[in-house]
Structure 1
Amino acid sequence: MIEKYGLQTNAFLTQLYEVRGKWVKSYFMGVFCAKMTSMQRSESANHLLKGYVPPGCPMHLFIRQYEKMQFDDNSEESYQEKRTKLVVTCGGIVLKQNIPVEVHASQVYTRTMFEKFGEALYVCGSYDLVEVKPQLEYIARHIKFQSREKWCKNEFVISVSETIDEFRCECGTFEHYGMVCSHALKVMIHLKLHELPPKHVLKRWTRDARDILLPEYLRYQKDHGPLKYSSRRLSISL
Structure 2
Amino acid sequence: MLGRPPQVIITDQCRTLQTAVADVFPRASHCLCLPRIMEKVPEKLGELYEYESIRMALHNAVYYSLRPEEFEATWEDMIHHYGIGDHMWLQMLYEDRRRWVPVYLKETFLAGMLPTRPNEVVDSFFRGYLDRHTSLKEFLDKYDQALQANHQLEVLADMESRNSGFMIKSRCYFELPLAKLYTNIILRKFEQEVEGMYSCFSTRQINAEGQVITYMVREQTEVDGNRRETRDFEVLYNATQMEVLCVCGLFNFKGYLCRHALSVLHQNGIEEIPPQYILSRWRKDINRSYVLNHDHSGIDVNNPVHRYDHLYKCIMQVVEEGRKSEVRYKETVQALDRILSKLNLV
Task: Report the TM-score, using the length of structure 1 for normalisation.
Answer: 0.71
What one-letter code is carried by the residue in structure 1 that aligns with 2:174? V
* Alignment check: 8 A CA contact 1:130 1:141 kept: yes
Cα 1:48–1:226, aligned 2, differ >3 Å: closer, same or farther? Answer: farther
Question: What per-residue deviation string (whole Å, max 9, x for no partner) do you get for residues 108-127 of structure 1?
Answer: 21111111111111112111
1:126 aligned to 180, 186, 199, which one?
199
2:112 aligned to 24, 35, 45, which one?
35
* Alignment check: 8 A CA contact 2:203 2:267 kept: no
Where does residue 239 of structure 2 map in the other structure?
Answer: 162
Question: What per-residue deviation string (whole Å, max 9, x for no partner) do you get for residues 123-165 of structure 1?
Answer: 12111233115893322212479xx859x67110111103261
Task: Give the Cα separation in 2 of the matches to 1:191 and 1:213.
Answer: 40
1:73 aligned to 127, 146, 150, which one?
150
Structure 1 residue 16: deviation in Å? Answer: 3.2
Corresponding residue SS for 1:47: coil
Structure 1 residue 43: deviation in Å? Answer: 8.5
Question: What per-residue deviation string (whole Å, max 9, x for no partner) do you get for residues 68-103 of structure 1?
Answer: 54443333122202211113xxxx221222232211
Cα 1:15–1:83, aligned 2, differ >3 Å: closer, same or farther? Answer: closer
Task: Give the Cα separation in 1 of the matches to 2:253 and 2:151.
Answer: 26
Where does residue 44 of structure 1 map in the other structure?
Answer: 124
Task: Give the Cα separation in 1 of the matches to 2:128 and 2:149.
Answer: 11
Corresponding residue SS for 2:125: helix
Cα 1:76–1:19, aligned 2, differ >3 Å: closer, same or farther? Answer: closer
Task: Give the Cα separation in 1 of the matches to 2:248 and 2:242.
Answer: 18
Where does residue 234 of structure 1 map in the other structure?
Answer: none
In structure 1, the gaps of 5 or more residues are: 228-238
Task: Give the Cα separation in 2 of the matches to 1:48 and 1:81.
Answer: 23
Where does residue 171 of structure 1 map in the other structure?
Answer: 248
* Alignment check: 8 A CA contact 2:111 2:253 kept: yes
Where does residue 101 of structure 1 map in the other structure?
Answer: 174
Task: Give the Cα separation in 2 of the matches to 1:28 and 1:178.
Answer: 14
Percent identity between matched residues is 23
Matched residues, number: 210
Is 2:105 aligned against 1:22? no
1:225 aligned to 308, 318, 334, which one?
308
Corresponding residue SS for 2:112: coil
In structure 2, the gaps of 5 or more residues are: 1-77, 116-121, 311-346
Task: Give the Cα separation in 2 of the matches to 1:68 and 1:21.
Answer: 34
Question: What per-residue deviation string (whole Å, max 9, x for no partner) do you get for residues 152-204 of structure 1?
Answer: 67110111103261110000111222111111112222323221101211111
**Alignment RMSD:** 3.9
* Alignment check: 8 A CA contact 1:101 1:189 kept: no
Cα 1:25–1:105, aligned 2, differ >3 Å: closer, same or farther? Answer: same
Task: Give the Cα separation in 2 of the matches to 1:180 and 1:139.
Answer: 16
Cα 1:56–1:19, aligned 2, differ >3 Å: closer, same or farther? Answer: closer
Cα 1:223–1:36, aligned 2, differ >3 Å: closer, same or farther? Answer: closer
Structure 1 residue 225: deviation in Å? Answer: 3.2
Is 2:190 aligned against 1:117? yes
Q: Which is richer in strand?
A: 2
Task: Give the Cα separation in 2 of the matches to 1:8 and 1:144.
Answer: 31
What one-letter code is carried by the residue in structure 2 that aligns with 1:103? L
Which structure carries more relative contact order (alpha carbon 8 Å, separation 6+)?
1
